[in-house]
Structure 1
Amino acid sequence: MTTAFPATPFTIADGRALGFTERQLGSPTLHRPFKGVRSITSPSSLIERAEALACALPAGAAFSHITSAQLQGLPLSYALEADERLHVIRPINRPHLRRALVVGHRAVHARALTTAHGLPVVGLADTWVDLGELAGRSKPLGLDDAIVVGDACATALRSTAPLKQALSRRVRPRGKILLTEALELIRVGSWSPRETQARIMFVRAGLPEPKPNQPISASWNRDVLLGYGDLVWQIELPDGRQVRLIGEYQGAEFHSEDEQREHDDFRRRRLEDDGWLVIEIWAADMATTAARWAIIRRFAEELHVPESTLALHDTDPHFFSRHAIDVAIARDDVWRGRRC
């Protein structure tokens, strides 16, 4: 007879099959992370909790929405991360999954499935579309959040096409208007949320769009790689002059240590010696309206973009889509008209 409980979570049915008695399976030394599931340790991390639930999931079910995004390492806002429930989806013709601390979804349209950490999850493109359900008033997903996650998905998939295709396959999905607007600014190549946020800030201001994380080759030998630029502009002015500008986002977490700063300074000198202008962007440069306007003006000057053409008032983070704002304005106009 089996005397040692499995090291990984198991269902009561599996425990019976292994030869454990009802008394053993009801032992107070076992943890009960979910109904019908037992484990010798209490799952704490997201992966551990998902593993505990996975052993009891019916065939065809997969982790979706926020849980899928987290398991696949997508960058989520604090508002989205605050949802600690596990999201699971299964086909519409299957019964609704109801468990404590679990959000059950049923899919009208098929999703592409894959695995992450050995667990079944909805694929990246379909996960991005599913997150659209969390957009709107009093919901956690905003427009810029959708762009940040979309950039990460497109970069991993090496194309924005899968996102467009996944969205087009759905019939009137929730959040479609916001996701459609987000697609206008989603690009391949972003390596961090802050890089994405800086890029869309510059674009909304009216600056030429930079290319994210471009390899920079030496002018004297194209086989010599000087490094990668977070945001890269290469522009020829009407008078024939060349503007070669790199915006480098410096996250304090990774770039404030002495060793890393020495590496950054050496890399910067190599680029500047080859004719590139490198401007660092810090979190403080994007923290307030005044700071954003200041850094935008600095880049505009180097790019020879007249300040009079800048749309500075459009550079704060965007939460609502243009459509949502237009609807709100129309509703407000109606309300004011009735008061008059």
Structure 2
Amino acid sequence: MQACRAALSVLPVGSVFSHVTAAQLHGLPLSYAMEEDCRLHVTRPITSNRVRLPSVIGHRALHARRVVEIGGLPVVDLADTWVDLGELVGRGKLVGLDDLVVLGDACATRLGSRVPLIQACLLRNRPRGKRTLLEAYEEIRVGSASPRESLARLVLTRGGLPEPQLNEPIFASWDPGLLLGVGDLVWRVPTEDGGLLKVVGEYQGELFHSGDEQRRHDGIRGSGMACDGWDVQEMWNADLNSSQSRVSTLQRFAAALRVPSDCLRPQDVTPRFFSSHAIDQAIQREMQRSARS
């Protein structure tokens, strides 16, 4: 924020902080590539000259952005920032499909709805990265509390499991006023015999959940849920950071939810940087090159 304050004194009137800089100022979860971008992103109306200053990336906007104030700085608002980041999608660029889902989850959760994101996108005339933004939008959900929760959900749902409720309060069946805990990913699945499968997926971040005191707290909470018929399945970083571990995690949750193995799509649990459209275009180009050779 100090760099933004210093830059604001020399920026032309009407400049607003945007793109990665706006995401940083909003406190949105950024990928490593975005965190490493130390440049300041600044947007002005398309009728204005592009900002040309050292360590500043100047953008010109055809369509007006909503602007909010953060610490006295003019910043593009959450929904328009999400759409702006679509401009940074592509080979060799900073932002990928899963990044837009994670960022979209964070924005939608703060806004209480994902609708403002699609509205901001559709208000623009062919924004750059639109195909990737629209594909990401289909997987954005309200309620995710962290980037790793979002990525864990993508692994499981892309792999063929039903959509969970996110950060859902779980009350005791014998006392609706007794809160047993809040589940990161919560499934309540009716069974053929009229019963109910109750499964909770808990993402345990190494930084917060590996200490002895927090592990005791997690154990007590998990035991309370288990006593009420909940199957508590933990996930750690190691369960998501390799192809084999992601498939194993998918199979473990599928068994808990009684999803048949032939309904699973283990080939789809790999993290995705490129949109389906970009992948299709790359395949077509490769086929054309092969045909010419």
Give the TM-score range, shorter chain. Answer: over 0.9
Opposite residue 82 of structure 2, the aligned amino acid is W
Matched, 1:241 2:188: no
Matched, 1:218 2:172: yes
| SS of equivalent residue, structure 1 residue 234 | strand
The Cα of 1:212 is off from its aligned counterpart by 1.0
| SS of equivalent residue, structure 2 residue 43 | strand
**Residue number in structure 2 paired with 1:301:** 255
**Residue number in structure 2 paired with 1:175:** 129
Matched, 1:140 2:101: no
Opposite residue 54 of structure 1, the aligned amino acid is L
Matched, 1:330 2:284: yes
* 1:118-146 per-position Cα deviation (integer Å, ceiling 9, x unaligned): 21100000000000011011112110011
User: Which of 60, 83, 92 lines up with 1:106 in the alignment?
Assistant: 60
The Cα of 1:113 is off from its aligned counterpart by 0.4
The Cα of 1:227 is off from its aligned counterpart by 1.4
Structure showing greater relative contact order (alpha-carbon pairs closer than 8 Å, 6 or more residues apart): 2
Q: Which runs of 5 or more residues in structure 2 are unaligned?
A: none
| SS of equivalent residue, structure 2 residue 155 | helix
* 1:179-235 per-position Cα deviation (integer Å, ceiling 9, x unaligned): 000001000000000000010111110111111111111111222221110000000
The Cα of 1:65 is off from its aligned counterpart by 0.2
- Find the aligned partners of 2:145 and 2:185 in 1 and give their Cα distance: 11
| SS of equivalent residue, structure 2 residue 186 | strand
- Find the aligned partners of 1:243 and 1:231 in 2 and give their Cα distance: 14
Matched, 1:189 2:153: no
The Cα of 1:266 is off from its aligned counterpart by 1.3
Opposite residue 313 of structure 1, the aligned amino acid is Q
The Cα of 1:57 is off from its aligned counterpart by 2.8
Matched, 1:130 2:84: yes
**Residue number in structure 1 paired with 2:40:** 86
- Find the aligned partners of 1:274 and 1:57 in 2 and give their Cα distance: 59
Q: Which runs of 5 or more residues in structure 1 are unaligned?
A: 1-46
* 1:86-111 per-position Cα deviation (integer Å, ceiling 9, x unaligned): 11111112222111011111111000
* Superposition pairs of residues 314-329 of structure 1, within 5 angstroms: 314-329=268-283
The Cα of 1:59 is off from its aligned counterpart by 2.8
User: Which of 111, 129, 139 lines up with 1:157 in the alignment?
Assistant: 111
- Find the aligned partners of 2:13 and 2:182 in 1 and give their Cα distance: 44
- Find the aligned partners of 1:149 and 1:71 in 2 and give their Cα distance: 13
Calculate the aligned-residue CA RMSD, in Å.
1.0
**Residue number in structure 1 paired with 2:236:** 282
**Residue number in structure 1 paired with 2:161:** 207
- Find the aligned partners of 1:329 and 1:101 in 2 and give their Cα distance: 36
The Cα of 1:242 is off from its aligned counterpart by 1.0
TM-score by length of 2: 0.98
The Cα of 1:250 is off from its aligned counterpart by 0.3
Query: Identity over the aligned pairs, expressed in percent?
Result: 54
| SS of equivalent residue, structure 1 residue 153 | helix
- Find the aligned partners of 1:126 and 1:315 in 2 and give their Cα distance: 29
Matched, 1:260 2:260: no
Opposite residue 102 of structure 1, the aligned amino acid is V
- Find the aligned partners of 2:217 and 2:16 in 1 and give their Cα distance: 43
**Residue number in structure 2 paired with 1:36:** none
